[in-house]
Amino acid sequence: MILLEARKFPGCKFKIMTANGDSDLNSMLSLISLGLSCGDGVTVSANGENEIEACEKISDLFAYEFDFPPQA
């Protein structure tokens, strides 16, 4: 779902930074290789067209869709 959402912003380049490493969101394997668990810290950056909207959308997915249970 994160990669599908990232593709909605074709003019943007994403970078996901974690304590386990970084990913540019080009592939599912790159994202999975980070080995993220619930509660892990993630920093999302976006550079390009609509970067603020893109960064907020991807950040929201990490914070609310993929955090179990969701944080208030």
Tens digits of residue pLDDT in 52-63: 999 999 999 988
For residue 71, tell me if it sits in a domain.
Answer: no
- CATH code: domain of residue 48: 3.30.1340.10
Question: Is residue 70 in some structural domain?
Answer: no
How many domains in the chain? Answer: 1
Cis preceding-peptide flag for 69 (omega within 30 of 0): yes
Average pLDDT over residues 33-60: 91
Place of tokens 């810290």: 41
Domain range spanning residue 34? 2-65
The overall average pLDDT reported for the chain is 86
Domain assignment present for residue 56? The answer is: yes
Residue 9 lies in a domain: yes
Confidence band (pLDDT; 50, 70, 90) for 67? low
Burial tier of 14 (Cβ tally within 10 Å: 0-12, 13-18, 19+): buried
Name which of 34, 27, 26, 36 is nearest 65 in CA terms.
36
